[in-house]
Structure 1
Amino acid sequence: MGSDSEAEKTAQKEKGKKKMLVLAPIAKPLAGKKLCKRTLKLIRRAAENKCLKRGVKEVVKSIRRGNKGLCIIAGNISPIDVITHVPVLCEEADIPYVYVPSKEDLASAGATKRPTCCVLVMPKPAKGELDQGEQEKLKSDFDEVVSDVSELASSVF
């Protein structure tokens, strides 16, 4: 019985290592553990408040329409061609973007079961209004993560 849990632990460690190994070579700037956690928390809050665009198609359409926000892209996408144009679009539209290691984490934070390539977190919902308290919380989290992402991006480039 004890060996089972040991085997499971090593299997999980291997899984964790594999997750890090399959990162795309273009996954820069990649969020560190702390920033990744805060980013996923922001995505969770945005999903609850309907301030989230999920998937490449929705994100690209949103950016082309001139919506502002923060783009979070999964770093373990295969084939990589699916998302190579997203960072370029973000830079042209002056939208900060960051990579997180796992598309599965991105999906669970965004309240979907399917793994998601990228999401766009918007500071306010596309339709309707939020009550003042929720809007304040979302805005402060959003600004905090965006400033960290900008810092990270400036250190990478």
Structure 2
Amino acid sequence: MAIYKKFEIPEELVKESLNILENAAKTGEVRKGTNEVTKAVERKTASMVYIAEDVEPPEIVMHLPLLCEENKIPYTFVPTKEELGKAVGLSVGSASIAVVKAGEAKSTLESLAQKIAELKK
């Protein structure tokens, strides 16, 4: 488990969250990369943040969970950068992605945020 990972995500929830991210990327707006994600979180425009678990060095994304909690933005973890990049149509991996406008995935994204909040307890 990564140093910055604060809770365990079940496999079926990871798959569901990646499907929601794909839908949000197609019909809404996402920010790709840690710098863009950090800006979206600080500006409070992000509605959900996805963080890869296999980031090396971990310091690249280590600040994101704390920043998200500070700004009350839900976040989740995905096992690999490649899965995260593929979900938003990138040919390369991405350490983190923020959903800014969910588009058609709005209601499913909200239910995902509730499930993740339950896991944190």
TM (normalized to structure 1)? 0.71
CA–CA distance in structure 2, aligned partners of residues 101 and 60 of structure 1: 20
Query: Which has the larger share of helix?
Result: 1
CA contact (8 A) 1:59 1:120 kept: yes
- Root mean square deviation, CA, Å: 1.5
Which AA in structure 2 matches 1:139?
K
**5+ long unaligned stretches in structure 1:** 1-22, 126-134
Q: Which has the higher strand share?
A: 2
- Please point out which of 84, 103, 108 is paired with 1:106: 84
> Share of identical aligned residues, percent?
30
Structure 2 distance, partners of 1:92, 1:29, is: 17
Matching of residue 145 in structure 1 with residue 112 in structure 2: yes
Q: Which residue of 2 aligns with 1:10?
A: none
Q: Stretches of 4+ moved more than 3 A in 1?
A: none
Higher radius of gyration, 1 or 2? 1
Count of residues in Structure 1 that have an aligned counterpart in Structure 2 = 121
Higher relative contact order (CA 8 A, sep 6+): 2
Question: Structure 1: how far apart are the matches of 2:20 and 2:30?
Answer: 10
Structure 2, unmatched stretches of 5+, are: none
- Indicate yes or no: 2:27 matched with 1:60: no
Deviations 1:96-148 (A, max 9, x none): 111111111111101101110011123x36xxxxxxxxx4x412211121111
Contact 1:74 1:99 (C-alpha < 8 Å) held by counterparts: yes
